[in-house]
Amino acid sequence: MRLTNGPRWGTCSTLRAAPKNNRVTTIARRPAGQRAPERRLARTRSDSRANAQRTIAQPTVAIERVGFIGLGSHGWPMAANLLADGFALSVCDVRAEPPAALAQAGATVVSTHREVAERSDLVGIAEIADPSWLDYQIEEVVLGPDGLLAGAQPGLIIAFHSALYPSTVRRIAEHAAERGVHVIDAQANGGTEGARARRLRYMVGGDPAVFERCRAAWATSGTSMLYMGGLGAGAAAKIAHYVAVCLSLLGAHEAFGLAERDGVDLNAFQDLVHQSAGQSWASDAWLQTFRPFPAERAENFYQRLHHALGLGDELRLPLPGTALAQQFMAGFRDDLTTGRDDIATQEQR
């Protein structure tokens, strides 16, 4: 079964439809008899702040029914992997095509978030909106009049795979706890290709016992699961990770621009940096991936840094380098015709 899926969108009727100019993907099943790999906690540690979610009795029944909201470029392959590995899957999306394709493979399609909750032990929510207003939309998905909590039974687990503010995760968890519902943030890195290839890396925050119940389901798409701390720690880790990535890109941009301006052979320079203390993923990929700088990636990085600066403001932590990196991304985001990535190009803008 083949499907063209949207880049970021994917709840039920509360959202407008996404553009359809995306790739085609397929449901990839594991070979017969092969089970999803077992995953263990990388480490556990007590939450350093007051737990946003009250203690809820942990059922011992294994998760068998999974709901998924947000069948975009990340969510669709994650949902397809769950279905291929034998989980009973219920899905909800604003568009007809993504859930219809999953339905032909055995998924149940529902029209509201309430119905997803009614049919699930675990509900995963992937990125469903523009990052600039994602937190508000996620609150509507969970807390709205026809949202997940409206149909939730005690013991349901709601997992966030979208990049939210940690405070949003904790605020939703407080409401969910009143209904006996667990919340856990399980941010994922690896992109669309990582989800398709089952190589996502999860950063998890919340109750370790809840994580233990979820790991078999998440293992259908992930190869690494790191427990980062209490509720919101997964979201904070993902935001901080983007800061590290974008500052590395800014460093590579200026280093390669300086070398190029003075006539240095850039391939030789890349080899030099790779063998020295300046080595980074950004420098290793600069010539092959970021010349010219992809405008769509610059837009994504810009929005992630918006979250980082917002979190820094909440924590009263100055992030001047992050602000500079966001300006750097804005230049490439706003100029879709960028053909060069050296300092001279920036000076001409």
How do residues 158-185 score in pLDDT, each as one tens digit? 999 988 999 999 999 999 999 999 999 9
Check residue 349 and give its pLDDT.
31
Average pLDDT over residues 71-87: 94
Work out the pLDDT band at 335, boundaries 50, 70, 90. low
Residue pair 257/238 in contact by the 8 Å Cβ criterion: no
For residue 218, is pLDDT > 90?
A: yes
Q: Which of 119, 122, 117, 121 is closest to 149 using CA atoms?
A: 117
Check residue 128 and give its pLDDT.
67
| Strand, helix or coil for residue 123 | strand
Q: Which has the higher per-residue pLDDT, 37 or 260?
A: 260
- pTM higher than the cut 0.85: no
Sign, Cα dihedral of 194, 94, 179, 154? negative
Hey, which residues does 186 pair with through a beta bridge? Answer: 204
Q: Which has the higher per-residue pLDDT, 343 or 32?
A: 32
Average pLDDT over residues 231-254: 96
Average pLDDT over residues 261-288: 96
Least confident residue range of 23-27, 137-141, 158-162, 304-308: 23-27
For residue 87, is pLDDT > 70?
A: yes
Structural domains in the chain plus CATH codes:
2-20+36-230 (3.40.50.720), 237-348 (1.10.1040.10)
Check residue 131 and give its pLDDT.
63
Check residue 60 and give its pLDDT.
54
Q: Which has the higher per-residue pLDDT, 72 or 264?
A: 264
Least confident residue range of 117-126, 128-137, 215-224, 227-236: 128-137
Buried b (16+ CB within 10 A) or exposed e, 38-71: ebeeeeeeebeeeebbeebeeeeeebeebbbbbb
**63 φ, ψ to 5°?**
-70, 125
Environment class of 35 (CB within 10 Å of its CB; exposed 0-12, middle 13-18, buried 19+): exposed
pLDDT above 70 covers a percentage of the chain that reads 77
Work out the pLDDT band at 2, boundaries 50, 70, 90. very low
